[in-house]
Structure 1
Amino acid sequence: MKSFLEELVSIVPNENQINWQKLEYTAFFHYGMNSFTDREWGTGKEEASFFCPKDLNTDQWCEVLKKAEIKTCIITAKHHDGFCLWNTEYTEHSVMHSPLKRDIVAELAASCEKYGIKMGIYLSPWDRHEPAYGSGKEYNDFFCGQLTELLTRYGRLYSVWFDGACGEGANGKKQEYDWKRYYDLIRKLQPEAVISVCGPDVRWCGNEAGDCRESEWSVVPAEVFSQSDIMENSQKDDNAVFRKQGLDQQTRNLGSRDIVKKADKLIWYPAEVNVSIRPGWFYHPSEDHLVKPLSHLKHIYLNSVGGNSVLLLNIPPHKDGYIARFDEERLTELGSFIRTAFQKNYGEQALLKASASEPGSDVHNVVKEDEAYWKAIDNCSSCEIDITLNEPAVIQYVILQEQIRQSQRVEGFEIWAEDEKHVSRRIYSGTTIGYKKICEITPARITALKIVFSEYRAAPVIRFIGIY
């Protein structure tokens, strides 16, 4: 029988989850009927003729993503109002029956292929236009028909994104979603895609404000994945207050030992931080001057991508079909920050040594960005990695990454720095690491670092250390 620690470190991600985690920084395009009605949630009663972009250019969307260092995007193929951005055979409430008469999902897929960007799709289970909504099997057949179109016509998808919105239909009834049927269809037709949020592969962080946990665990109790709970905690209506709410105290701790030791079953369920660059999720002219400042976006980036999560940043296109200059300028600034801040890794030429190394485990593996790693001896009382730079340098960030193929293990660590006068001081204290931890410190000129692992499950397994 496995011990408690053996059980904890046996929980590991599947290949789809690993590939998703490596994306780090992704985009959401909320575009559709709401872009023209100046709403966040449509009613389903809008006329298709309302949708009439004058300058639709999905190449420009992807060009902006490249400037921002964003690797993937998700498009709202259908939001709650039921208006479809692709050539669907299941309803006339679509772009093909609008003045545009162009398949936007197809155009974005082509642009993504051109610019080397991965694409995913969002398909709202709630459809306020479709008469069959609330009917049970009839609507599930309709939904699976539309889902099949999206899964088979637009190339390889990296993510299928569901939220938990479930309101009443025109008949006054709520729909019982056949989640197992939806998941089985995705596994069959897009086996490399993760099923996100109201799905078993990727977990919603729990808020839309960009609030991140200090300790983000990917190993959590199985009951954290509950479609009913996700739906209950999801936004119920167009609510600006909800979009600003951060995490509550009850949901700040999902995976500590005190939590997981009470669980009957554990799963690997990593977090995604989804937040909009503007107050709303769709484009509104009144929000042109309310794009989040660079300082706020940097904070979200460093605490999400650098806090064992993937950042899904919403970028709502202008109603006429392009990314507005206000958003483009800010995204360009953020991309420049990322390129500049993490350009030179002082750890590449450093001298490293480690205590309590597992036999055959080479600590120099951690300066290479590949799958090799350093591992300490199981159940050692303490362990550390000493890094001596080849010349003094001013540093501001230290990146730590665990080899998550061997689970998430580190529960507490410290970083100590030594200066040119051989004075040593602690410059950072943290808890979890996971896929990636970006430790931001007050800029300091140093000659050496010591990473001290003080708490961990069995033994730390470190894949990468970067010093910037």
Structure 2
Amino acid sequence: MDKNIEKMIAVVPSERQLKWQELEFYGFLHYGLNTYLEIEWGDGSAALDILNPSDMDVEQWIVSMKAAEMKGIVMFCKHHDGFCLWDTKTTSYNIMNTPYGKDLLKEVADACVKYDMKLGLYLSPWDRSHPAYGTESYNDVFIQQLDEILTGYGKVFCVWFDGACGEGKNGKKQRYDWERYYAFIREKQPEAVISVAGPDVRWCGNEAGWHRAQEWSVVPAKLMSAECVAELSQQEDTEEFRAKQVNSTMEDLGSRKALEGAGPLAWYPCEVDTSIRPGWFYMEHDDNRIRPLDELLDIYLNTVGANANLILNVPPCREGYFKKNDVKRLNEIGCFIRDTFSYNLAEDAIIQADSCAEDGLVEAVRSQNMDGYWKAAAGKETAELEFMFSSEKTIDYCMLMEDIRQSQRIEKFRILYRTEGAWEEIFEGTAVGHKKICRFEPVKTDAVKVVIDESRSCPTLRFAGFYYGYYVPEVKTRSR
């Protein structure tokens, strides 16, 4: 085997990364003093008495997100203004000293348990109100805040950092002790991934829902520190930052060509973060500016359906609940996912593969569980799998999943369908990874082929499914 290929397929996910990837889709909750000021970034000077919701309904947040088929939420515990939404001993600038006077993180954590949703936590290292910010003692304060939220609210699936670094109230900038933060999180919540400015999950490069044409999880290890460099971090909130795409030199992070001579490699999967509204915190003037369903479904299909996880922000309003337009859109997203992908049309198909490794079973691809997988025979870099249906079916989606426990291997594939005894191509793709959802015009057929043309050593598939969705969102992003 080529030494470069050997090096690439030796890189595999950790157990915590595997569990995180299975979540696929979850929500952000931006709420705080900024909600009442209708701004995105507070400076730490807002009066605490403005936070006085008249109809707080935390359970509605969680139920609405679950209806969208989200599997968890990430709670904003502290944004850059330094205001804390839990009962903290590190600062008086917290929710217990507002008219609301309750530990909001506890309420969210309890609702997550009640409705079987995973809990993640965001904590901004940048703190524009704490007097210690910009001094070494602030790192002790930040560790104490991590200790409070990681030990008092149950099991956590992720700790979400951004690299934003700017001045505090004393005009100083902080040197974040990232390695100390990471070690502390590993001690207190060893199963939690550390996202974005962290070693487990990589940021996509923007906040607009943009994504690469092909997403790879095996990438140069140097990317793991990209968001932790203060000089490269976000200094202010701007439209340009939210909408910017990573530069063209970073478009291809993990192809075989991109990894040649790249030095050490790492399993560093991608997460795409974006908001259901134009901004992150609630603004009344955006009540009728919820993103169109087609746009959000297109983002879902090109993130969750293209080897990335998606985190979608939904901001509670000043009264303390999700507005009806946001709830309506969440329900529509969930209906699409359930209606389209609940029934695999190949469930009873006869499946044949042109080769199979001794430790792989072609029948395993009927199920998304991780108990089994198909793998091509040793030495094979190409393969064909044929699915023969019991009767003619109409299909317009194909879902493929690699067994990423054996790394990401498939580099180029095609989908063909049988019509009048001949095979015709309906889709061509590159990277698969955890999940690839292929969209095409509806076709009627009694047989489909998945043809793997290029791979890193013998390819694997954990799952292959075919579906018909009566609603197909208009494709508004670039061709896949």
TM-score for the superposition, normalised by structure 1: 0.97
Structure 1 stretches of 5 or more lacking a match? none
Post-superposition Cα deviations, 1:121-145, rounded to whole Å, max 9, x if no partner, equal 100000000011001x210011111
Q: Which residue of the partner structure matches residue 213 of structure 2?
A: 214
Q: What SS does structure 2 have at the residue aligned with 1:454? A: strand
1:198–1:230 CA contact under 8 A, matched in 2: no
Q: Would you say 1:123 and 2:123 are equivalent positions?
A: yes
Alignment partners' CA distance in 1, 2:183 and 2:90: 21
Q: Which residue of the partner structure matches residue 256 of structure 1?
A: 255
Task: Tell me how far 1:196 sits from its aligned partner.
Answer: 0.4
Alignment partners' CA distance in 2, 1:251 and 1:264: 16
C-alpha RMSD over aligned residues: 1.3
Q: How does 1:40-439 map to 2 (within 5 A)?
A: 40-135=40-135, 137-227=136-226, 231-371=230-370, 372-419=372-419, 421-439=420-438
Post-superposition Cα deviations, 1:250-284, rounded to whole Å, max 9, x if no partner, equal 22110111221212201000000101111101110
1:210–1:246 CA contact under 8 A, matched in 2: no
Q: What SS does structure 2 have at the residue aligned with 1:225? A: helix
Task: Tell me how far 1:400 sits from its aligned partner.
Answer: 0.2
Distance change (3 Å), C-alpha of 1:21 and 1:381: closer
Deviates more, 1:3-12 or 1:378-387: 378-387
Alignment partners' CA distance in 1, 2:363 and 2:58: 43
Structure 2 stretches of 5 or more lacking a match? 468-480
Letter of the structure 1 residue corresponding to residue 14 of structure 2: N
Alignment partners' CA distance in 2, 1:158 and 1:231: 26
Alignment partners' CA distance in 2, 1:212 and 1:60: 30
1:30–1:76 CA contact under 8 A, matched in 2: yes
Q: When the two structures are aligned, how many residues end up with a matched partner?
A: 466
Post-superposition Cα deviations, 1:327-368, rounded to whole Å, max 9, x if no partner, equal 000110010000001122111100111112223532111012
Q: What SS does structure 2 have at the residue aligned with 1:290? A: coil
Post-superposition Cα deviations, 1:367-401, rounded to whole Å, max 9, x if no partner, equal 12222100012332521101111111111110000
Letter of the structure 1 residue corresponding to residue 125 of structure 2: P
Q: What SS does structure 2 have at the residue aligned with 1:291? A: coil
2:217–2:408 CA contact under 8 A, matched in 1: yes
Alignment partners' CA distance in 2, 1:393 and 1:59: 41
Alignment partners' CA distance in 2, 1:381 and 1:138: 55
1:374–1:462 CA contact under 8 A, matched in 2: yes
Post-superposition Cα deviations, 1:194-241, rounded to whole Å, max 9, x if no partner, equal 000000000001111111111100000100111556654443212123
Letter of the structure 2 residue corresponding to residue 301 of structure 1: Y
TM-score for the superposition, normalised by structure 2: 0.95
Letter of the structure 1 residue corresponding to residue 318 of structure 2: K
Q: Which residue of the partner structure matches residue 472 of structure 2?
A: none
Task: Tell me how far 1:446 sits from its aligned partner.
Answer: 1.2
Q: Provide the identity percentage.
A: 47
Alignment partners' CA distance in 1, 2:100 and 2:373: 52
Q: How does 1:5-16 map to 2 (within 5 A)?
A: 5-16=5-16
Alignment partners' CA distance in 2, 1:382 and 1:185: 45
2:382–2:459 CA contact under 8 A, matched in 1: no
1:199–1:227 CA contact under 8 A, matched in 2: no
Q: What SS does structure 2 have at the residue aligned with 1:352? A: strand
